[in-house]
Amino acid sequence: MPEDEEYDGPARLAVDGHEIDVHARLSGHFEPISGKYQWAGRLRPSDEVRETLRPNLDVRLSIGDDKSADATVREQDPWGGFRISGTGRPPFAVPTEMF
């Protein structure tokens, strides 16, 4: 996968009226069958992540001041982190000819 279709670093989640800082590891790809860009990844565990998130929760994930996307929190992993996924323009840089 090209480097510019991955992200590993700080992010911010807007959830239930407040924001929490998280560390996200994300990647994505264009899915030719659906014709959409699919992205997913993992949020590193922290006390605030474990206390705030739950599966099937809709959130807004932001990276930096200018990139954000709607996402859904998925299952919790055994270490207390959560999987997260989204469809469409991701909150990290990808080649613009995809959109």
| Residue spans of alpha helices (H) in the chain | 47-52
Place of tokens 């055994």: 78
Under DSSP, is residue 49 helix (H, G, I), strand (E, B) or coil? Answer: helix
The larger pLDDT score, comparing residue 76 to residue 98, is at 76
CA count, 13 A, side-chain hemisphere, 80: 10
- Where along the chain do its domains lie? 3-92
pLDDT tier at 1, thresholds 50, 70, 90: very low
For the cut 80, the answer to whether the pLDDT of residue 97 exceeds it is no
pLDDT at 3: 46
pLDDT tier at 2, thresholds 50, 70, 90: very low
At residue 12's C-alpha, the angle toward residues 40 and 70, to 5°, is 50
pLDDT of 15-73, one tens digit each? 988 999 999 999 999 899 999 999 999 999 999 999 999 999 999 999 998 899 999 99
CA count, 13 A, side-chain hemisphere, 96: 0
Q: What is the pTM of this model?
A: 0.86
